[in-house]
A = this chain, B = another copy of it.
Amino acid sequence: MAEHIVTSYEDELKFIIRRISEMGGQAERMVEQSVSALMHSDWGLAQSVVADDVLLDAVQREIDERAIRTIAKRQPMAVDLREIVGAIRISNDLERIGDLAKNTAKRVIAVHEHSQPMQLVRGIEHLSDLALAQLKEVLDAYATRDEKQALAVRDGDEAIDAVYTSIFRELLTYMMEDPRNITACTHLLFSAKNIERIGDHATNIAETVYYIKTGEQMEAERPKGDSTPSLAHTDLTTPPPGGPGA
């Protein structure tokens, strides 16, 4: 068997890390393009995001298989094992980010065919800028194995949750004002939620970077963002002026 092992562990790891970095770049592009497609009702761009997701899934499978083969062949220990396990986890998060971008892209037609409230799409663009900044930063932290930067990314997720919450409220208000907005706003709501979850995945990646570098789990500092919508919106329980709840 030994003749078949033509690369060193270092080479295998480098290959995997390079693929992760490419995957990260592709996931970023998909997020940017899905939101741009939503902004400009660009169905062609939306379709290319959907097509790109197939490639991203394939790269994730490849990284998975490579990583597993490397573990079986090299039996890495300590930081080397964490590198490989970390690669599996990060590629999984990047694949899910791609799925979320794809889901947003698929909503472009539904949002477009309804006259959409442009200022809300802009709110979503702002949300997406924040999530993309987090994604770029965490990929950077991964590239440099910078656990301090990883911690900063984790702490930055709070801002995304706050903007998501404000968009959620705005969308609900908009729907209440005019029922004709409901269908488009519903798709925008799901798109906003997709972006908020992209922020959560950036946080997951930050935690993985921290784990690779230190061998320890990041200490819990705050609950995950997806508690925000229900809890932060309990003050919307008051029915709008005009009467009690049905």
List residues of chain A with CB under 8 Å of any chain B CB.
64, 68, 71-73, 75-76, 81, 85, 88, 92, 99, 103, 106-110, 113-115, 117, 172, 175-183, 186-187, 189-190, 193, 226-227, 229-231, 233-234, 236-237, 239-240, 242-246
Known A92-B92, A106-B230, A113-B237: A182·B176 in contact at CB below 8 Å: yes
In the complex, residue of chain B having the shortest beta-carbon distance to the beta carbon of A106: B230
What 7 A-B pairs come out closest when comparing CB atoms?
A113-B237, A115-B245, A176-B179, A72-B75, A110-B230, A106-B230, A107-B230
Q: How far is the CA of A203 from the CA of B50 in the complex (A)?
A: 20
List chain B residues, Cβ under 8 A from A227: 106
B190 lies within 8 A of A237 (CB): no
**Contact (Cβ within 8 A) A246 B175:** no
Which of B172, B229, B245 is close to A190, meaning CB atoms less than 8 Å apart?
A: B229
Q: A227 — nearest CB in chain B belongs to which residue?
A: B106
Main secondary structure of the interface of A (DSSP, over half): helix
User: Which of B108, B114, B175 lies in contact with A245, CB distance below 8 A?
Assistant: B114
How far is A231 from B105 in the complex, measured between Cα atoms in Å?
A: 11
Residues of B within 8 A of A230 (CB): 106-110, 187
A240–B106 CB distance below 8 A = no
Q: Are B81 and A72 in contact (CB under 8 A)?
A: yes
Q: Which residue of B lies closest to A77 (CB)?
A: B72
Closest chain B residue to A92 by CB distance?
A: B92
Which residues of B are found within 8 Å of A237, using beta-carbon distances?
Answer: 110, 113-114, 183
Is B172 within 8 A of A182, CB to CB?
yes
When the two chains form their complex, are residues B85 and A234 in contact, meaning their CB atoms are under 8 A apart?
A: no
Contacts of A193 in B (CB 8 A): 190
A186's partner among B72, B172, B187, B244 (CB-CB below 8 A) is: B172
Instruction: Indicate whether A245 sits within 8 Å of B180 (C-beta atoms), given known contacts A68-B71, A187-B230.
Output: yes
A178 contact from B178, B187, B189, B246, Cβ within 8 A: B246
Q: Which residues of B contact A108 (CB under 8 A)?
A: 230
